[in-house]
A and B are shown apart, each in its own frame.
Chain A
């Protein structure tokens, strides 16, 4: 991405940031930022596995987005543009600090709401622990194409890699997750999983 902002590794105060007036910061852009905040935060928590770090990443992303608003092309996918900033910020931190910025124990999941598991569905707490154990380059593409609504092509742009690389990482991530969760066949998903998967009626509105 040529419009990627320079990596900022510490957090200068807002007053120290050089912000050129104007430069794309329309009210539509601002509203877009506000509208994408829940997705940005969900992506950041999924990626980093730490809520405090995720919130810092979102904050930094918003600052960079504001400062570099003129490099956003109106009409293009704002979420993908913001994800690019966020993941580049995260990986620059990750390269500097390594495992320090990764929570492989999935401790964060204890602070998050966990809806009751449906029959035949994977336990969410178990799933989050497994997700945190994935290599970050697999985790990010899985979240992007499997949950955030980005296409494979958009995810490839975000990661600055080939679409085929995204696909192989997604498949590796799924294989690794099934291994970590101990599911090698449909029977490991519990009764009903196979018929659920075939019928696929109202997946999120089951009886409670």
Chain B
């Protein structure tokens, strides 16, 4: 991402852009290439819908059963450490 080079002036523009919460149809739906102006996100209603979908997506993943191998691994690591005693 060429625009994330971290120049101070650039960061300032990014910060200012993110403070705007206005509705920007051109950014949300257009084919504009990424640029400083595209840093502004979609409007609050769309952000809200995306935010809820994101949380549902993540919550469903955290509720999936865990593979047993993770706990097996920890048990093996603990057992190995115990043998060092």
Nearest-Cβ distance from residue A141 to partner chain B, whole angstroms: 11
Q: When the two chains form their complex, are residues A172 and B29 in contact, meaning their CB atoms are under 8 A apart?
A: no
Q: Which of B1, B15, B54 contacts A135 (CB 8 A)?
A: B1
Q: Which residues of A contact B80 (CB under 8 A)?
A: 14-15, 19
Q: When the two chains form their complex, are residues A41 and B27 in contact, meaning their CB atoms are under 8 A apart?
A: no
Nearest-Cβ distance from residue A75 to partner chain B, whole angstroms: 22
Across the A-B interface, how many residue pairs have beta carbons closer than 8 Å?
174
Q: When the two chains form their complex, are residues A177 and B48 in contact, meaning their CB atoms are under 8 A apart?
A: no
Which secondary structure characterizes the binding site on chain A?
A: helix
- Please list the residues of chain B having a beta carbon within 8 angstroms of any beta carbon in chain A: 1, 3-4, 6, 11, 14-15, 17-18, 24-25, 27-30, 34, 38-64, 66-67, 69-71, 73-74, 76-78, 80-81, 84-85
Give the docked Cα–Cα distance between A171 and B61 (Å). 23
Q: Which residues of A contact B25 (CB under 8 A)?
A: 184-185
Q: When the two chains form their complex, are residues B1 and A164 in contact, meaning their CB atoms are under 8 A apart?
A: no
Q: When the two chains form their complex, are residues B27 and A38 in contact, meaning their CB atoms are under 8 A apart?
A: no
Name the CB-closest residue of A to B58: A147
Q: Which of A34, A59, A143, A185 contacts B54 (CB 8 A)?
A: A143
Q: When the two chains form their complex, are residues A171 and B78 in contact, meaning their CB atoms are under 8 A apart?
A: no
Q: Which residues of B contact A177 (CB under 8 A)?
A: 50
Q: When the two chains form their complex, are residues B1 and A121 in contact, meaning their CB atoms are under 8 A apart?
A: no
Q: Which residues of B contact A168 (CB under 8 A)?
A: 3-4, 14, 17-18, 39
Nearest-Cβ distance from residue B67 to partner chain A, whole angstroms: 6
Give the docked Cα–Cα distance between A143 and B54 (Å). 7
Contact size range, A: 35 or more
Nearest-Cβ distance from residue B17 to partner chain A, whole angstroms: 7
Q: Which of A55, A147, A178 contacts B55 (CB 8 A)?
A: A147
Nearest-Cβ distance from residue A17 to partner chain B, whole angstroms: 9
Q: When the two chains form their complex, are residues A146 and B55 in contact, meaning their CB atoms are under 8 A apart?
A: yes
Q: Which of A2-10, A84-92, A95-103, A124-132 contacts B (4 or more CB under 8 A)?
A: A124-132
Task: Kindly supply a per-residue 1/0 record for chain A positions 8-29, scoring 1 wherever the CB is within 8 Å of any chain B CB and 0 otherwise.
Answer: 0000001100010100010000
The answer to whether the Cβ of A114 comes within 8 Å of any Cβ in the partner chain is yes
Q: Which of B14, B28, B42, B81 contacts A167 (CB 8 A)?
A: B14
